[in-house]
Amino acid sequence: MAYTKPRNRVGIEHDRVTDVSSTDFPGYYPGEDHSWSIEKFKNHFKVHIEYLNELNSEFDLIGVDPSIANAFRRIMISEIPTLAIEYVYIENNTSIIQDEVLAHRLGLIPLKANPDYMHWFKKDDPEFEPTDYDTLVLHLSAKCTVNPNAPEGTTDPKMLYNNAHVYARDIVYEPQGHQTEWYPDGVTAANPDILIAKLRPGQEIDLSMHCILGIGQDHAKFSPVATASYRLLPTIDIIGEPITGELASKFKSCFPKGVVAINSKGEAVVKDARKDTVSREVLRHPEFEGRVKLGRQRDHFIYCVESTGAIPPDQIFLKSVQLLKKKCEILRKFNLSA
């Protein structure tokens, strides 16, 4: 029986990919109904969560179009507001790091602070005064001194000096007004071990910082994700006669561990195509020509979302869905017929 590729498959040949565009539009297939139906979508759409914790996640959206999946990915990266250090007021900086470089480094530190409580700081308005509703205040002060109790003969700067290294954990949050209700546990860096500067005796850093809301489109420091990406589920179809014996073990070794297994009859069977890296190694061997078809399922998206620590990954995704919805609702309010 000849192999017919399902419609929702991207074909993967040794030198190219085929059928990359969606075809589920009205008029594409004669006599078929491909008009939008929320009921049909509801019946086909599935969510699978592979794993999820405070920082990382992998989940599948099955039954959506790439245009929609990509919108969520783009929103997660560049349009979800988070808090980051934006203004640095340097009282004293005698370290070797220049003021502007230090300020930039501070800005990039991910903060563990829920952005939902804050309002927008109006950067464009010169009259706008920061309030407890829109600005978090942080302080950092460190002075390096000689450690008189350093063990004899040591060359380790951490032993020789006090405060030789300034870390993100040294940042102190100063609650303003209502902020004690919103941030009862305070605001800290998501990772306390980020090295900000190195000092030597006599050098000093003393500065205060203002954190405001922003989006990744403006500056990457405001992005809530370290990465947000998706890939399509790989497919491997063994066509025609089963692959057996010596050939089966060669077939198995063409894929990463756990993708192909050999069953009791000695036939190679696809165990877990999800683990495949789609290296296309199998397509390099003439003995497998015409016996295997590689592909990807065009409507099965495997998302990988890594949070910076401010918002959990599942909340980031939900926010992206809500934001796309909001974009539509805003446009819907305009009366264009008039």
Residues that bind other proteins (CB under 8 A): 22, 24-27, 33-36, 38, 41-42, 45-53, 56, 58-59, 61, 64-65, 67-68, 70-71, 74-75, 79, 119-120, 133, 257-258, 275, 314, 317-318, 321-322, 324-325, 327-334, 336-337
* Shortest distance (Å) from residue 275 CB to other proteins: 7
* Shortest distance (Å) from residue 94 CB to other proteins: 40
* Shortest distance (Å) from residue 168 CB to other proteins: 25
* Shortest distance (Å) from residue 21 CB to other proteins: 11
* Shortest distance (Å) from residue 62 CB to other proteins: 10
Whether residue 171 contacts residue 76, with contact meaning beta carbons closer than 8 Å, is answered with no
For other proteins, the closer of residues 27 and 30 by Cβ is 27
What's the chain look like in SS3?
A: CCCCCCCCEEEECCCCEECCCCCCCCCCCCCCCCCCCHHHHHHHCEEEEEEECCCEEEEEEECCCHHHHHHHHHHHHHCCCEEEEEEEEEEEECCCCCHHHHHHHHHCCCEECCHHHCCCCCCCCCCCCCCCCCCEEEEEEEECEECCCCCCCCCCHHHHEECCEEEHHHCEEECCCCHHHHCCCCCEECCCCCEEEECCCCCEEEEEEEEEEECCCCCHHHCCEEEEEEEEEEEEEECCCCCEHHHHHHHHHCCCCCCEEECCCCEEEECCHHHCCCCCHHHHCHHHCCCEEEEEEEEEEEEEEEECCCCCHHHHHHHHHHHHHHHHHHHHCCCCCC
| 104 C-beta neighbours (distance < 10 Å), count | 14
* Shortest distance (Å) from residue 84 CB to other proteins: 19
For other proteins, the closer of residues 90 and 323 by Cβ is 323
Go through 190-226 and write b for each residue having 16 or more CB atoms within 10 A of its CB, e for each that does not: beeebebbbbbeebbbebbbbbbbbbbeeeebbbbbe
* Shortest distance (Å) from residue 80 CB to other proteins: 12
* Shortest distance (Å) from residue 202 CB to other proteins: 46
For other proteins, the closer of residues 22 and 297 by Cβ is 22
Q: What is the separation of C-alpha 75 from the centre of its chain, rounded to a whole number of angstroms?
A: 11
